[in-house]
Chain A
Amino acid sequence: MSNLPEKFAIEPERYEFRAAPMHQFELARRDFFKILGAGIAVFVITRDVAASQETAPGSRSFHNEELPKEISGWLHIGEDGSVTAFTGKAEIGQNIRTSLAQTVADELRVPFESVRMVTADTALTPFDAGTFGSRTTPTMTPQFRRVAAAARDLLIGVAAKEWGVAPEGLSAANAKVTDPASGRSLRYAELARGKTLAQNLPAEDPMTPESQWTVAGKPIPKVDGRTFVTGKHEYTPDLRLEGMLHGKVLRPPSFGATILSYDDSAAKAMTGVVIVHDGDFIGAAAPTAHETQKALDAIRVQWKEVPQISNKEIFAYLKKNAAAKSDDRGRRQKGSVEEGLASAAHRLDATYNVAYIAHAPLEPRAAVAQWADGKLTVWTGTQRPFANRDELADVFHLPESNVRVIVPDTGSAYGGKHTSDAAIEAARLARAAQRPVKVVWSREEEFTWAYFRPAGVIEVKSGIASDGTLTAWEFHNYHSGTSGIDTPYVVANQRTEYHAVPLILRSGSYRGLAATANHFARETHMDALARVAQMDSLEFRMKNLSDARMRAVLEAAAKSFGWPRKKTQDGQGFGLACGYEKGSYVATCAEVAVEKSSGAVRVVRVVESFECGAIVNPDGLRNQVVGAIIQGLGGALFEAIGFENGRIKNPHFASYRVPRFRDVPEIEAVLLDRKDIPSAGAGETPIMSVAPAIGNALFDASGVRINNLPMVPNGLRSA
């Protein structure tokens, strides 16, 4: 995103910042063709590596040698004309299996149906740090464009040689190379036949401009849709291997509990049961889940538990235990906040609190592990297959080459499936059982032993001039993170700091990361400031914004919503919010209805405009945007993890409320397609502005300003 101002440089969230180093890539070229059959293969390598090669890689073919280590994408055209493209990214419901195939088909000039994506398999796909940070579209789209463009050139070259003509005059379309001079043509399948031709290239080839896309940019339905509506798609929990056992882990009663005494004699006496007690790991595996549970129930363990803080005191705790010095990441300083505050006509300070929430993906964490000849294969629903592989290799003292991790298309993740817990558990039990073992976490385990979006405290100090111009902005985030921490508004005097706090509950990535917390605080605060300035909140934002893309999404959302709107009934309220993160822009307008007698809150309508550059698949994008709005409703209104003394108090869907059909408002997603801007990701940003837009509408409806997420877990009591 070279056209972005420096302050918008994309920085990995600290919880995501666990990227493994680039690793040795074991697959040799000859193995590659052994797996895929003969044909034509093209690999794209990163620019840095290309520059360091002795010969120009663009013209170099390689034979029977290791593939370059820094390959980031590759593509194979088989003798039957089938196209297979490989990426280490995982399909977790965000629809990349479809959108990336569109990109390949578009650039290679083949029908969409002929492209197959192989994803997230450490033995077959290039190294990838993980499917997070909305990085799949901005990184993989240009890479697949380049690799497909190079493959096209290669096919043209083969045809030119065949015909004894210059390649410049030939053209490629509809999976054929054509010579316009003679009218003759050869299908890609014919050109690939009998070849084992491979080429690597630097990641700089010219690509088709967004305005000339033909397959990309279209609302192509989800690949394999039929396998999902017929129940045939096999998610990790659906896999069944010959002789497989069902494994389960005996969890401590609370976080940090240690074993005082242990007796598994009764469990071990059961037939067909394998018990593992290794350090603080206790697990069992048996032919049926029922037998496994019976065995675990028969194990006698005494635990030593430790007192721990509860959700009631968490916000005071975060403030008290913050690092003395703010973190380098997130620190911004401009002008003098003190002077800006002193010169302000109005000042407004506020504190915002954000609770821990859970991802609660409908497919729980799961893994199937199989050992053979000292080699380990694990199928698991993870966003980080290569990191899982490394962790497995580490835990079991294996070379990475002896571990393979395969990710079946997964029942969602939302940032929650970075770790390799289930994979390690299944592998440990499988090693003891000497048979394949499947571990599927229960919903209660999911809610307890996964990890959470961290809680946070945010303090804001601000000042405005009498005409509504921001004069000072000071923003401190405690614990929740740095994503979206920078204000997009023009403020001469500003200070932004992030204060780390040691983890209390196991915390990590979540769709949008801390951007939701930071946008909630900032956009709620901006709404309150607009009230102080006695300005319409859209007008107030516009006055303090110069970024044309931000202004455009705000205008688009306001227009579709009909902002400003007049209230026509009691308890009605309207609010808006906007934001920028990870290369994309969002603005949300919300209408709420508050029933004064009961305090019941209903979100009536949400209009959200979103702009992420050139749209690759408007249908998939609409699903992601609408989905983010609905998921965002939960964290905005009622989702919160309760905890006390190392126990989760609401580890069930009955006690942890997630949005359901009755909670869903009328939704309109306004997608702005900018063909002149490279495509950014869309999985996260659309969630950020939902909570503040609703909160601002609640204030408009009731006069009650709520500075805590979730806002109304028990309704709006004081309305």
Chain B
Amino acid sequence: MAKTIELEVNGKKYPVNYPPDTPLLYVLRDELGLTGSKYGCGEGQCGACTVLIGGAPRRSCQIPVSSAAGKPVTTIEGLETGGRLHPVQQAFLDAGAFQCAFCTSGMIMSSVGLLQTNSNPSQSEIIQSLQGNICRCGTHPRVIEAVRQAAKMIQEHGR
């Protein structure tokens, strides 16, 4: 049965009234209108729905909305601050690391999650942490390059 829970998304609190087992992704998209997180498979296999929960990258299609309550959730819409792109967003833009860009939100959120715990990842660490994100257009080399650039930007200028 639906019961009201409180979600904290991008620093804003939202009361939501959904069955507790509803995947967080559907609540973000359909209830909160945060459509930057994408449905690509609904099975945790493609990474297009990746958000940060308590700072860690998670597949929002696999997270029941009830278990996201009480933890800060960050979506792609929450990365920009004061009109300034997050370094990872800027790096994706600079590297042209997208084609159709449907995977881009998830790629960026996974990369932000990685860089929060590892500020200077190696090539294999980048690959390891993006292995769960599918890009069907085949833009992988530029995504890796973008993550490297973002790491450099963060080291030089901070977040």
Query: Taking beta carbons and an 8 Å cutoff, which residues of A are in contact with B?
Result: 92-95, 221-222, 225-226, 228-235, 237-238, 240, 246, 288-290, 359-364, 409-412, 414, 440, 442-443, 619, 623-624, 626-631, 652-654, 658-662, 664, 667
For residue A412, which residues in chain B have a CB less than 8 angstroms away from its CB? Answer: 99-100, 102, 136-137
New contact pairs (18) apart from A361-B100, A626-B141, CB-CB < 8 Å: A93-B100, A94-B99, A229-B90, A229-B108, A230-B77, A232-B36, A238-B35, A240-B33, A288-B30, A363-B38, A412-B99, A414-B136, A623-B96, A629-B138, A653-B41, A660-B132, A661-B126, A664-B138
Take A93-B99, A93-B100, A237-B39 as given contacts and tell me if A653 and B45 are in contact as well, using a CB distance cutoff of 8 Å: yes
Which secondary structure characterizes the binding site on chain A? loop
Take A232-B36, A362-B38 as given contacts and tell me if A667 and B141 are in contact as well, using a CB distance cutoff of 8 Å: yes
Partner among A362, A364, A623 whose Cβ is within 8 Å of the Cβ of B134? A362
In contact, A93 and B137 (Cβ under 8 angstroms): yes
0 or 1 for each of B110-149: is its CB under 8 Å from A? (1 = yes): 0000000000000000110011111111111111100000
Take A222-B96, A290-B22 as given contacts and tell me if A362 and B46 are in contact as well, using a CB distance cutoff of 8 Å: yes
For residue A626, which residues in chain B have a CB less than 8 angstroms away from its CB? Answer: 138-139, 141-142
For residue A629, which residues in chain B have a CB less than 8 angstroms away from its CB? Answer: 138
The 7 closest A-B pairs by CB, nearest first: A231-B36, A93-B100, A411-B102, A630-B138, A627-B138, A231-B76, A653-B45
In contact, A363 and B102 (Cβ under 8 angstroms): yes
Give Cα A717 to B37, complex, Å: 40
Closest chain A residue to B106, Cβ basis = A362
Partner among B75, B100, B143 whose Cβ is within 8 Å of the Cβ of A231? B75
For residue A409, which residues in chain B have a CB less than 8 angstroms away from its CB? Answer: 100
Which secondary structure characterizes the binding site on chain B? loop
Query: How many residues on B have C-beta within 8 angstroms of the other chain's C-beta atoms?
Result: 57
A359 → chain B closest CB, angstroms? 8
Closest chain B residue to A655, Cβ basis = B45
Give Cα A237 to B37, complex, Å: 11
Take A228-B101, A288-B30, A411-B101 as given contacts and tell me if A631 and B136 are in contact as well, using a CB distance cutoff of 8 Å: yes
Partner among B34, B48, B96, B131 whose Cβ is within 8 Å of the Cβ of A660? B131
Take A246-B30, A362-B48, A443-B42 as given contacts and tell me if A658 and B134 are in contact as well, using a CB distance cutoff of 8 Å: yes
Give Cα A443 to B38, complex, Å: 12
For residue A440, which residues in chain B have a CB less than 8 angstroms away from its CB? Answer: 39
In contact, B35 and A234 (Cβ under 8 angstroms): yes
Closest chain B residue to A233, Cβ basis = B101
Q: Which of B80-100 contact A (CB under 8 A)?
A: 80, 85, 89-90, 92-93, 96, 98-100
Cβ of B70 within 8 Å of any chain A Cβ, yes or no, is no
Provide 12 A-B residue pairs closer than 8 Å at the C-beta atoms, listed in order of the A residue. Answer: A226-B85, A229-B90, A231-B34, A240-B33, A240-B35, A290-B19, A362-B40, A626-B139, A631-B137, A653-B134, A660-B134, A661-B133
Closest chain A residue to B109, Cβ basis = A231
For residue A225, which residues in chain B have a CB less than 8 angstroms away from its CB? Answer: 93, 96, 98
Most B-side CB within 10 Å, residue of A410, A440, A664: A664
Cβ of B104 within 8 Å of any chain A Cβ, yes or no, is yes
For residue A664, which residues in chain B have a CB less than 8 angstroms away from its CB? Answer: 138, 140-141
For residue B137, which residues in chain A have a CB less than 8 angstroms away from its CB? Answer: 93, 412, 623, 627, 631
Most B-side CB within 10 Å, residue of A230, A359, A414, A630: A230
B20 → chain A closest CB, angstroms? 11
For residue B130, which residues in chain A have a CB less than 8 angstroms away from its CB? Answer: 661
Take A229-B85, A246-B30, A623-B139 as given contacts and tell me if A235 and B102 are in contact as well, using a CB distance cutoff of 8 Å: yes
Closest chain B residue to A227, Cβ basis = B101
Give Cα A288 to B19, complex, Å: 11
Cβ of B103 within 8 Å of any chain A Cβ, yes or no, is yes
Most A-side CB within 10 Å, residue of B35, B131, B138, B142: B138
Closest chain A residue to B146, Cβ basis = A229
Give Cα A658 to B137, complex, Å: 11
Most A-side CB within 10 Å, residue of B38, B92, B103, B142: B38
For residue B101, which residues in chain A have a CB less than 8 angstroms away from its CB? Answer: 93, 228-229, 233, 411
Give Cα A653 to B141, complex, Å: 21
Closest chain B residue to A94, Cβ basis = B99
In contact, B38 and A237 (Cβ under 8 angstroms): yes
In contact, B103 and A362 (Cβ under 8 angstroms): yes
For residue B26, which residues in chain A have a CB less than 8 angstroms away from its CB? Answer: 288-290
